[in-house]
Copies of this chain bind each other. A is one copy, B any other.
Amino acid sequence: MSNPTPSSPLIRIADMTWYEFADRVKENPIVFLPTGSVEQHGPHLPLLTDVILPVAVAEAVAAEVGGMVAPAVSYGYKSQPKSGGGNHFPGTLSLDASVFIALVRNIVNELVRHGARKIVLFDGHMENAWFLVEAADLALRDQAMLGRTDVKIVKLGYWDFINKATEAVLFPDGFPSWELEHAAVMETSIMLHVRPDLVRQDKIPDDPAAVFPPFDVYPFDTRPIPPTGVLSSAKSSSAEKGAVVLAQVVPDIAASLRTAFASASE
């Protein structure tokens, strides 16, 4: 899989003219809205990692299902110690819940206004998940108030589609947890595959997995947070592993979406 992010204007809404968009939307394609964040990703990955990855995966899935991809929501919900290191790390630019929810809800409503009926909230930042739930719910209510009840929204995190076989490739020594995977093997490997120019390969850290208590403290208790912001070792990352992930995940997500939206139109 050498080209996970084809630049064809038939996939990226950003690159289309309005004439092209108008033609495409008439076919009622699946429309993807990638959502990420500007968040610390250790000494080796760029701040936009959580945007770059879901955009890459979403574009690849869109290519398979004949869908199109809206410009990403680049700013996301506040980074938390257990899943992203925490909002206090320099460069982590986060939104209040109300702003993030309103933004996604608004974009979904706009897509629907122009004819989209199958929308995927394609997340690349774990902290966004529950606020995407709310955005979806509120957008559907808005549409119901306008008399439209034929909209269907799927919300997903691409990592949740990684199967046991791929997990074994990624973590031959045992899987930690998706939350501790922040800036670690999975993310680093996919970045090495899709945007190696942005990975500081000499700075990939090898810290032990962080250990957190079963509660959260505000303001953050920074003591259990690794100083690098990487929640488990990224040492074993490789572009090959990244390629394996995408080669499995992309067709599996595509298949799931075909099923999900097909049942919608029945």
**Using an 8 Å CB-CB cutoff, how does the interface string of A91-133 with B read, 1 for contact, 0 for none?**
1111111110111001100110011000000000001011101
How many of these chains are in the complex? 6
Does A15 contact B215, Cβ atoms closer than 8 Å?
Answer: no
Does A18 contact B91, Cβ atoms closer than 8 Å?
Answer: yes
Let me know if A239 is at the binding interface, CB within 8 A: no
Report the count of interface residues on A (CB-CB < 8 A). Answer: 86
Does B93 contact A217, Cβ atoms closer than 8 Å?
Answer: no
Does B78 contact A214, Cβ atoms closer than 8 Å?
Answer: no
Question: How many angstroms from the CA of A221 to the CA of B134 in the assembled complex?
Answer: 16
Let me know if A247 is at the binding interface, CB within 8 A: no
With A46-B14, A99-B106, A106-B99 as known contacts, state yes or no: A260 contacts B137, CB within 8 Å: no
A258 to chain B, nearest CB (A): 12
A8 to chain B, nearest CB (A): 12
Binding site for B on A (CB under 8 A): 9, 13-19, 21-22, 25, 38, 40-48, 51, 70-72, 74-75, 77-78, 80, 89-99, 101-103, 106-107, 110-111, 114-115, 127, 129-131, 133-134, 136-138, 140, 144-147, 152-156, 160-161, 198, 200, 203, 213-219, 221, 229, 256, 260, 263
With A41-B17, A47-B16, A48-B14 as known contacts, state yes or no: A103 contacts B90, CB within 8 Å: no
Does B15 contact A46, Cβ atoms closer than 8 Å?
Answer: yes
Does B103 contact A103, Cβ atoms closer than 8 Å?
Answer: yes
Question: How many angstroms from the CA of A78 to the CA of B101 in the assembled complex?
Answer: 15
With A48-B14, A214-B156 as known contacts, state yes or no: A91 contacts B144, CB within 8 Å: no
Does B95 contact A98, Cβ atoms closer than 8 Å?
Answer: no
With A47-B21, A110-B93, A215-B260 as known contacts, state yes or no: A14 contacts B41, CB within 8 Å: no
Does A155 contact B218, Cβ atoms closer than 8 Å?
Answer: yes
User: Known pairs A18-B42, A99-B99. 9 more at Cβ < 8 A?
Assistant: A13-B38, A15-B46, A17-B45, A38-B71, A130-B131, A140-B219, A152-B217, A154-B216, A154-B217
